[in-house]
Amino acid sequence: MIPLFNHFYVSSTTFIEINQLLMEESTIINMVKSYISQSMQNLDKENNKFDFKRQWYDLKSPNGISEFLKDTTAIANTFGLHGYIVIGFDDKAKEYFNSKFSNSGLKDKILLADLIIKHVDRLFTMDELDITIDGHSLSVIHIPPSIDKPHVIRSYKTFDKQEKEKIEVQRIFVRNASGTKIASKYDIDLMYYDRKNIIPEFKLLISCNLKIQYCFQFINNNGILSLNMRPTIENIGSRPVAISKMKFKIARHHGDEEYEKICLVSNELWLTNEIIIPSGDIFNGMITFSLEGNSFLTAPPEVDNILNSSRENLLFSPIEIYISNGEMITTELLKLGRGY
């Protein structure tokens, strides 16, 4: 029995249909065209939760990460519905600068959520879309309304001209007509008021007092790694949820460097039927996870390296919960005490 940690808490939200979490690409393109047209005519934007950026944040540098965290948390914290950051248009110079997600320095869009998990106290939903307008490549970061605000940057880093670092702890940012600013008490009160008016159709709370058990065995001539967990899943959303699959990653890390990573997915040999949780109800039962795509004669060496590491050196990704209507709920995993 390998004790990874004694407690964890997961909260998850998704906004579907009414709130249109993932808007149609054509809708986003038309909206961006409208704001670019307003900018070309020197008209003020009517939406505080909309911003232009000339080029992608350098998400391999501390300075770029800090700016990304400031701008995205500010939109997530600001009163109102959907927020957007359009990258690839300079609204002061009125010029396009071709931009794609690949310019960020990251290999996968899911790593955007990893940055939030590492540096912000609560995860918020975000998706990224590369689009083309009048032959110009643009990126759009879409941030739906959050019911978990305020989102606090644990250690916000700023840099002077000599690249000397200054750390400001527990920073909360919001947007207003003039840009991004540190939140006042009034802004924070408004966040709590706003989130009471955002009612998600799906919201799960997952908690567990556990020690994770893992073993390696042969099934149908394939080596299967399995981890057993017994979570309590409470559905406090307005609609029933049918869970068909759960998936998450564990990485061993030191500072900002990741050494090894494994991806775990709920095992169909144990989760043969969907877990159906009516609104207001609770599920409590065993769920077994296996190594994604595993077919081994022996356990891969990184498995023991990761699962035998101290919990301070482990990083858990957001958990992906797949439900029967085809949607995927991205959940946040918070370890009590030290960690992310």
Residues 190 and 109 in one domain: yes
Residues 218 and 331 in one domain: yes
pLDDT value for 231: 77
Rank 134-138, 141-145, 227-231, 315-319 by mean pLDDT and report only the highest. Answer: 134-138
Q: Using alpha carbons only, how large is the chain's radius of gyration in Å?
A: 21
- Tokens representing 219 are 């099934």
User: pLDDT tens digits for 297-331?
Assistant: 445 666 667 666 666 667 777 778 888 877 787 77
CATH number of the domain to which 254 belongs: 2.60.40
Residues 177 and 320 in one domain: no
Residues with Cβ < 8 Å from 95, sequence gap 6 or more? 89
Is the pLDDT score of 154 beyond 50? yes
Residues 207 and 240 in one domain: yes
Mean pLDDT of the chain: 77
pLDDT value for 171: 96
Q: Look at residues 196, 224, 254 and tell me which one is the last residue of a structural domain.
A: 196
- Tokens representing 286 are 């065993």
Residues 36 and 79 in one domain: yes
Query: Alpha-carbon torsion 147, 194, 198, 80, what sign?
Result: negative
User: pLDDT tens digits for 170-199?
Assistant: 999 999 877 899 999 999 999 988 877 776
Residue 238 lies in a domain: yes
The residues with which 52 forms a beta bridge, in sequence order, are 86
Residue 340 lies in a domain: no
Residues 75 and 222 in one domain: no
pLDDT value for 208: 63
Residues 256 and 149 in one domain: no
pLDDT value for 183: 95
Residues 175 and 31 in one domain: yes
Q: Look at residues 196, 217, 235 and tell me which one is the last residue of a structural domain.
A: 196
User: The pTM is what?
Assistant: 0.59
The residues with which 101 forms a beta bridge, in sequence order, are none
Is the pLDDT score of 295 beyond 60? no
Q: How sure is the predictor about 257, in pLDDT bands with cuts at 50, 70 and 90?
A: low
CA distance 126 to 184: 24
Residue 53 lies in a domain: yes
Residues 204 and 192 in one domain: no
pLDDT value for 9: 33
C-beta separation of 315 from 250 below 8 A: yes
Residue 120 lies in a domain: yes
Residues with Cβ < 8 Å from 25, sequence gap 6 or more? 129, 131
Residue 20 lies in a domain: no
Considering only residues 309 and 62, tell me which one the structure prediction assigns the higher pLDDT. 62
- Tokens representing 224 are 């299967």
Residue 2 lies in a domain: no
Q: What percent of the chain has pLDDT over 90?
A: 33
Segments forming the whole domain that contains residue 231: 7-14+200-335
What does residue 39 show for φ and ψ, rounded to 5 degrees? -65, -45
pLDDT value for 98: 93
CATH number of the domain to which 81 belongs: 3.30.950.30
Residues 133 and 154 in one domain: yes
Q: Look at residues 196, 227, 243 and tell me which one is the last residue of a structural domain.
A: 196
CA distance 30 to 36: 10
Residue 253 lies in a domain: yes
Residue 145 lies in a domain: yes
Domain total for the chain?
2
Residues 47 and 161 in one domain: yes
Residues 43 and 159 in one domain: yes
